[in-house]
Amino acid sequence: MNWDFEQIEKDMREDAGKISSPAQLEEFRIKYLGRKGLISQIYASLAALPKEEKPIVGKQANNLRRLIEQIIKEKKGAVSQISETSDAACFIDVTIPGVAPVQGHKHILTQTIEEICALFERLGFVIHDGPEIETEFHNFTALNIPVDHPSRDAFDTFYLEQEDKENKGRYLLLRSHTSPGQIRIMKQNKPPFAVVIPGRVYRPDAVDASHSFMFHQIEGLLVDKDVRFSHLKGLLSVFCKRFFGEDIKMRLRPHFFPFTEPSAEVDISCYICKGEGCSVCGRKGWLEIMGCGLVHPKVFEAAGYKKNEYTGLAFGLGVERIAMLKHGIHDIRLFYENDKRFVTQF
Ligand code: DAH
């Protein structure tokens, strides 16, 4: 067979001129350099040629092959650039509305804790925390809670299997309130001081719409010389107005807590019915929001303070309860389920 190398080169250059994508380049390579491509066919035909023609045709075929390889190399660079800049997938249509990234935010309980703590910070309080695993001493004894008090019962407190190293025969527990933080702060600091202690507390309650085995409290403690009940009342009424609204009324109802004397429960006028009486306040017109009182002398004694040296005020509130009242949430379980339909509302 006679090969017209001039024509072949002409056709080949024409083919090469049409290459504009990596796929077309590959097609071109297969056509000329593939196993059954033109160059292979030329080499295969050499065997049948007269002896003196073989080296001439062979040389021409080699030259052609080198030329094609050179062209493929050059085209490779060019088409890869083309595909990067003009490939349909890379085309940016600036008129299409953007996809906004989903932005998270703080959980309503965290927001409530931060809001309450910030209010007290503005009144000069400092935020502290305390351990969730506590001793019986801090959780009960130092708070003047008698040994036979029902809250010490295993039905009302989660006891751990770990023994309290400093108190043999006594077991560690999950704190059932944030009040043990009071004892730790008093032991570590010299008055005057004012602290708020937010955190989780645990009680083995059956879970229902208003009970959970874990919830959050914020404890408040102010210790100084000559702290009076009027200071407590003034402080809490400022807090209630700033947190619930200026038109909210506050009242203190006498109550009993072992670690304060006198003690009171704090009510606010129902923000829904404005005190008229509705289903949220149980027709009373008032909502209970926290416990408070003046620090009991026995508590100062347990913290190692000299008798009558200091006076103090304390209060404790349930964060879930306050958030439920403020936002009209009817079931405490909603806080912990992390259902987006709930979480994203706040
Ligand atoms: N620790 C109490 C509870 O869990 C709440 C409480 C009441 C805290 C009165 C106080 C207080 O500091 O003075 O029910």
pLDDT tens-digit map of 129-171: 999 999 999 999 999 999 998 888 888 999 999 999 998 889 9
The answer, yes or no, to whether any atom of ligand 1 lies below 6 A from the CB of 293, is yes
How far are the Cα atoms of 266, 269, 320 from residue 251, in angstroms, in the given order? Answer: 6, 8, 21
pLDDT at site 89: 59
Q: Is the pLDDT of residue 83 over 90?
A: no
Q: What is the 3-state secondary structure (H, E, C) of 209-237?
A: CCECCEEEEEEEEEEECCCCHHHHHHHHH
Confidence of residue 84 (pLDDT cuts 50, 70, 90): low
- Choosing from 315, 319, 320, 322 the residue with most ligand 1 atoms within 8 A of its CB, the one to mutate for a pocket test is 315
What is the side-by-side order of every strand in the sheet holding 126-127? Answer: 126-127, 193-202, 214-224, 311-318, 286-295, 260-269, 250-257
Nearest CA to ligand 1 atom 6: 316
pLDDT tens-digit map of 193-238: 999 999 999 999 999 999 999 999 999 999 999 999 999 999 999 9
pLDDT tens-digit map of 92-101: 888 989 888 9
What are the structure tokens assigned to 298, written together? 């026995």
Give the pairing type, strands 193-202 and 126-127.
parallel
pLDDT tens-digit map of 44-78: 999 898 899 899 999 999 999 999 999 999 988 88
- Residues 99-118 have a mean pLDDT of 95
pLDDT tens-digit map of 28-42: 999 999 999 999 999
- Residues 104-128 have a mean pLDDT of 97
The answer, yes or no, to whether any atom of ligand 1 lies below 6 A from the CB of 269, is no
pLDDT at site 91: 76
pLDDT at site 87: 57
- Choosing from 128, 177, 186 the residue with most ligand 1 atoms within 8 A of its CB, the one to mutate for a pocket test is 177
pLDDT tens-digit map of 288-330: 999 999 999 999 999 999 999 999 999 999 999 999 999 999 9
pLDDT tens-digit map of 232-270: 999 999 999 999 999 999 999 999 999 999 999 999 998
For 159, the enclosing helix (H) or strand (E) is strand 159-163
317 CA distance to ligand 1 middle (Å): 7
Torsion over CA: 228, 231, 234, 236 (sign): negative
Angstrom distance (rounded) from CA 170 to CA 192? 33
What are the structure tokens assigned to 153, written together? 């019962």
